[in-house]
Homo-oligomer: A and B are copies of this chain.
């Protein structure tokens, strides 16, 4: 890979040749980061070249991706999700320049498709016939879908609490699914052991540093969609830590090659019931975060219910380097954000998908965000992924459950116009 220099340990700085799929430091066990040859990339890429490209997917950024020359790229169209200027939502939050990036519009309906596209291309190039990961859901379905499209087998480890919709997607994509009677950490460990034993390609984003390179494409797109402008703030939900690390890497890469001229501040949003990353920042002192300590996984936002974040170090670095803000939200605030995005912008996100928005709502309410700041909230997954939570969100009208357990704007009625008009006039509709 002419564009990649090395894989470097973020803890001890040890360097490894890029492309041999060493994932963690052989000396200290630290997570690796992919380091690019920015001078070379600068000579290959500029705004005009990008603007002329017709490939509206993550592959438009090939110079900034760790893909071996001549690799077969997966056929699914990943990325280039819409970036909406959400004026009504902005008005409600007192923000004049608020954008929402809807990453639920991806082949398997989440941002994780970006990472899996890299995994599948690298696995295929490495001659592997099977790819594997552990995941609370979205990484898994994106891997299973991407593998199916590429003609690879997939083996997926999910904790038993993974929502129905996500597991079903896996099975439709023909994956072998191991539903582990345990939490995410136990699931992860079992997958790691099996991957080592069977020699499958490892798509555990926390371990495999190539994957956050896929995730960073969300930032490349945000900047390009804003006319090569970096936002002032980017709000994103945080679980394992890989996504926020990827988001940050994307902006840093763009800055390094001169495609943007400033860096955003990250708003790291976690569920209050499971916020080990934010807690480490908040407990830090003298400009250094405290060590990450494990937490229980008490949130309905299953994709970010990660008590022992495997990529915590990269996440902490991203938050600190960006002079970021940490915000923890309750499940109620997450459900409220689902309704808010749906009603004000027509965007339907899953709980973990809208947690970034929930944090932004809170931050704006606390006056932490200047009114004229350029703000982007990334919605990381489609609401259809977790209909049970969406029903909870829909039911909770104005924060209180409707008496019948259903949503107050849902009427069940016989097909009779007289009954309907009576009901409408009682409710003041029409």
Q: Which residues of B contact A173 (CB under 8 A)?
A: 342-343, 346, 348
Q: Check if A107 is an interface residue, CB within 8 A of chain B.
A: yes
Contacts A187-B415, A343-B148, A385-B384 known; A169 to B348 CB distance under 8 Å? Answer: yes
Residues on B with C-beta less than 8 A from A150 are: 346
Interface centre among A56, A407, A410, A417 (most CB of B within 10 A): A410
Cα(A339)–Cα(B173), bound, Å:
7
A329 to chain B, nearest CB (A): 18
Interface residues of A in 326-368 (CB under 8 A from B): 338-339, 342-348
Cβ of A155 and Cβ of B429 under 8 Å apart? Answer: yes
User: How many copies of this chain are found per oligomer?
Assistant: 2
Most B C-beta atoms less than 10 A away, residue of A77, A342, A414, A417 = A342
A95 at interface (Cβ–Cβ under 8 A)?
no
Question: Does A179 sit at the interface, judged by CB under 8 A?
Answer: yes
User: Complex: how many Å from CA A384 to CA B19?
Assistant: 36
A424 to B194 alpha-carbon distance, docked (Å): 10
A46, CB-defined interface residue at 8 Å: no
CB distance from A239 to the nearest CB of B (A): 19
**Contact A190:B415 (CB < 8 A) given known A75-B84, A174-B343, A407-B171:** yes
A323 beta carbon closer than 8 Å to chain B: no
Contact status A172-B102, CB under 8 Å: no
Closest to A113 in B: B346
User: Per a CB cutoff under 8 Å, which of B108, B198, B409 touches A176?
Assistant: B409
Instruction: Please state if A181 and B414 are interface contacts (CB–CB under 8 Å).
Output: yes
Q: Mark A136-171, 1 if CB is under 8 A from B, else 0.
A: 000000001111111100010000100011011101
* Closest B residue by C-beta to A57: B82
Choose among B148, B167, B411 the residue that contacts A178 (Cβ–Cβ < 8 A).
B411
User: Which of B82, B155, B382 meets A384, CB within 8 Å?
Assistant: B382
Comparing A6-14, A273-281, A300-308, A386-394, the segment that makes contact with chain B is A386-394
Chain A 41-64 against B: per-residue CB contact (8 Å), 1 yes, 0 no? Answer: 000000000000000100000000
CB distance from A334 to the nearest CB of B (A): 13
| Contact A391 B164, beta carbon cutoff 8 Å | yes
Q: Let me know if A226 is at the binding interface, CB within 8 A.
A: no
Inter-subunit contact B171/A420 (CB<8 Å) = no
**Interchain CB contact (< 8 A) of A171 among B144, B178, B409:** B409
- Residues 252-286 of A, flagged 1 when their CB comes within 8 A of B and 0 if not, give 00000000000000000000000000000000000
A27 at the interface (CB under 8 A from B): no
Roughly how many angstroms separate A56 CA and B221 CA in the complex, as a whole number?
Answer: 15
Task: List, sorted by A's number, 19 A–B pairs whose CB atoms are closer than 8 Å.
Answer: A84-B149, A148-B342, A149-B346, A165-B384, A165-B387, A165-B390, A168-B383, A171-B410, A172-B343, A172-B348, A173-B346, A174-B339, A179-B412, A180-B413, A181-B414, A190-B416, A194-B421, A384-B385, A387-B387
Identify the 3 closest CB pairs spanning chains A and B, nearest first: A149-B346, A171-B394, A172-B342
